[in-house]
Chain A
Amino acid sequence: MEKRVTFRGWWLPALLIAPQVLVSAVFFFYPAGQAIWQSLFIPDPFGLSSQFVGLGNFEFLLGDRFYRASFGTTAVFSILVTLCSMIPALFLAVMADRLIKGSGVYRTMLIWPYAVAPAIAGVLWLFMFNTRVGVVSWYLGNLGYDWNHVLNGGEAMGLVVVASAWGRISYNFLFFFAALQAVPRSVIEAAAIDGARFWKRFWTIVLPLLSPTTFFLLVVNIVYSFFETFGVIHTITSGGPQQSTTVLVYKVFSDGFVGQDLGSSSAQSVILLVVVGLLTIVQFKFVEKRVHY
């Protein structure tokens, strides 16, 4: 789409666009270029010079047991976060949609966790499950279950998943609720007259009508669990125990800043860049489609 009416001149638009171009060039394109460039080198241990290795860093990464494990961890983590945030959100949205009055009050209450930073969410859940003072872990202990996410990798994963999914429930609820409100009443009523009961109507009519929203949320939540959950993992487990919660973004951080392995960290950034690129393409393809609905 283009404007028919435009203004003339080139120095004014150049001036207008300059701040954005400048900020993008300095803080985006240069660093992104650096990441690609550095991924082709191995710096020597003293950081004085570096040796060109071509795709050596990538070859090493793809053969590295820990890096491959981190891919698996990320896959499990993002699928679990997506499911644990979308299913409760859909359920709550369906319930809220059934109410004629009062859904606004519930909505206001349910929005809260969205405003809570992932890192703060991490602190809250860490507090509940803390091995020494946690309330939930204490009650679990009374029930005979010995909770220890500091030693048990599975429990650590469970905890970071729940803490990451928690705030997302609000987000997904808002989108599902808006979509449900947009389902035409006449369709539902027609089905009701034909004798379809609530859950039958839900599975056969409402859920298919929600599929654009559901697909959109799937992509957005996967992107979220890839990139925005660093705070949760850093506050709760720091990637442990035994790297069982080291997702890809966490590994870029720990190899680059803690391990000072710039070549490998940059190569990981480039791989992530490709992953985001693919996800973005999927998202845009889908958005194009959605416009026709």
Chain B
Amino acid sequence: MAQEIHGMVEKRGAGLWLTHVFMILGVLIIFFPIWLAFVASTITQPEIVRPPMPLWPGDQLWENYSKALFSGVNVPVATMLVNSLVMAVGIAVGKIVISLLSAFAIVYFRFPGRNIFFWMIFLTLMLPVEVRIVPTYEVVAGFGMLNSYGGLIFPLIASATATFLFRQFFLTIPDELAEAARVDGASPMRFFWDIVVPMSRTNIAALFVILFIYGWNQYLWPLLITTDPEMNTIVMGIKQMFPSGDDVAEWPVIMATSILAMIPPVIVVVSMQRLFIRGLVDSEK
């Protein structure tokens, strides 16, 4: 009986094939822009500027990628990759560390002004950096942090999403654990290191994935504060590779750069799929 009902709900035969056909079509359409970029990164400039370009990869892969990586247009793409990596890891680690500490303080202590701090942090959820760009730029310039990693990282960790996530999670840690730690005479920091941090491992990892992508994919902020090509990140650097005026863009190199720009985040997302989905669902809730 159960099997008959199963058959009524999940499609078999022709319906099943049709479903697969739709899925494959969907994947192909969604993948097409990436495929085209990959093909363009393996052929020569003349093949691209005389449309239509081929839809199957050519033999120029090594030439285009080594040209992008080691000479680039304004600056070698390898340099931009390093900058992006420092920025993304800096934002992820920085935000996780300061949020773990402040969430621990808010949840496990009663201190004067605790609620004020809580609401202060809450407010920072509301205003993305895009909205306060001009004054934030002035602050960073005032500190002499233009064209520096500090200037790239700090303004983007001034937001409270992670603090909220950790607060929610800490509230679910059984009180008995803190009680036991207190009875044993363990200091708060010892409790933090030996109990709270190890218990938050999965949350930390999930958040790392989300924040890494967030940091890697930043565009407007690096565009404003890195005027020196040596400090460009790869995502904002691509636009700088287009010539101004009527010159023809060096498409194979630009497309090789866009493929290079998506490899690290794609590897992170696909290899840590479970953590990624968990982090996504948690951080948006």
Taking Cβ atoms with an 8 Å cutoff, the residues of A that contact B are 1, 3-10, 12-14, 16-17, 19-21, 23-24, 26-35, 38, 88, 91-92, 95-96, 98-100, 102, 106-121, 123-125, 127-128, 132-135, 138-139, 166, 169-171, 174-175, 178, 185, 188-189, 192-193, 198, 216, 220, 227-228, 230-231, 234-235, 249, 252-253, 256-257, 262, 265-266, 269, 272-273, 276-277, 280, 287
Q: Closest Cβ of chain B: how far from A233's Cβ, in Å?
A: 10
Q: How far is the CA of A118 from the CA of B218 in the complex (A)?
A: 9
Q: Return the contact of B235 from the options A8, A120, A253 (Cβ within 8 A).
A: A120
> If A95-B23, A120-B235, A135-B52 touch, does A111 touch B134 (CB 8 Å cutoff)?
no
Q: Return the contact of A117 from the options B11, B175, B235, B284 (Cβ within 8 A).
A: B235
Q: Closest Cβ of chain A: how far from B254's Cβ, in Å?
A: 7
Q: Closest Cβ of chain B: how far from A182's Cβ, in Å?
A: 11
Contact indicator A7/B117 (Cβ below 8 Å)? no
Residue of A nearest to B217 (CB): A117
Contact indicator B40/A5 (Cβ below 8 Å)? no
Contact indicator A174/B131 (Cβ below 8 Å)? no
> If A102-B20, A133-B51, A273-B127 touch, does A253 touch B273 (CB 8 Å cutoff)?
no
Q: How far is the CA of A81 from the CA of B72 in the complex (A)?
A: 33
In this complex, the interface size class of chain B, counting residues with CB under 8 Å from chain A, is 35 or more
Taking Cβ atoms with an 8 Å cutoff, the residues of B that contact A are 5, 8-11, 15-16, 19-20, 22-23, 26-27, 30-31, 33-34, 36-37, 40, 48-49, 51-53, 55, 97-99, 101-102, 104-112, 114, 117, 120-121, 123-128, 130-140, 154-155, 157-160, 163, 171, 175, 178-179, 182, 188-189, 191, 213, 216-220, 223-224, 235-236, 238-239, 248, 251, 254-255, 258, 261-262, 265-266, 268-270, 273, 276-277, 280-281, 284-285
> If A5-B182, A10-B111 touch, does A116 touch B135 (CB 8 Å cutoff)?
no
Residue of B nearest to A139 (CB): B52
Q: How far is the CA of A5 from the CA of B171 in the complex (A)?
A: 11
Q: How far is the CA of A111 from the CA of B280 in the complex (A)?
A: 12
17 new A-B contacts at CB < 8 Å, known A115-B265, A123-B37, A266-B134: A21-B117, A24-B121, A28-B158, A28-B159, A30-B135, A35-B134, A98-B19, A110-B30, A111-B269, A118-B217, A132-B248, A166-B30, A188-B9, A252-B133, A269-B134, A276-B128, A277-B126
Contact indicator A127/B157 (Cβ below 8 Å)? no
> If A4-B175, A19-B98, A98-B11 touch, does A38 touch B135 (CB 8 Å cutoff)?
yes
